[in-house]
Amino acid sequence: MAPPAFYRRALRRLARRGLRPGAGETAREFERRVAELGAAEARGFGQIRSLYERTRFGGVVLDPASRRLAEAGLAALARGTRPEPSAAVGTAPFSSRSGPGPDSV
């Protein structure tokens, strides 16, 4: 199963900045290296990583609020900006209902 589109986009953005996950490196291990880029990037990729794990391993479907979190995290990676402070991961913006899949972001 391929990673969700939002996670692939995050990896592409980080690759443009010279950072790629190593062979066998987990998303959490990679997140620690991303943090070396700065606090905004650490928060942004932390959001992305959390959403990735929930969709990939938890089987949840991203709802609109979760998609906004993914976009905020991607923006932080692209520009080194801070994700929205109100966009805290783990505040139940997920849905197990059927709908657009995780690749829709």
- What's the total number of domains in the chain? 1
pLDDT tens across the length of the chain (105 residues):
788 999 999 999 999 989 999 999 999 999 999 999 999 999 999 999 999 999 999 999 999 999 999 999 999 998 754 444 444 444 444 444 444 444 445
Q: Answer yes or no: is 91 within a domain.
A: no
Q: Answer yes or no: is 59 within a domain.
A: yes
Q: Answer yes or no: is 104 within a domain.
A: no
Task: Note the pLDDT of residue 86.
Answer: 43
Q: Answer yes or no: is 93 within a domain.
A: no
Q: Answer yes or no: is 97 within a domain.
A: no
SS3 annotation, the chain: CCCCHHHHHHHHHHHHCCCCCCCCCCHHHHHHHHHHHCHHHHHHHHHHHHHHHHHHCCCCEECHHHHHHHHHHHHHHHHCCCCCCCCCCCCCCEECCCCCCHHHC
Task: Note the pLDDT of residue 54.
Answer: 95
Rounded to two decimals, what is the model's pTM? 0.73
Q: Answer yes or no: is 14 within a domain.
A: yes
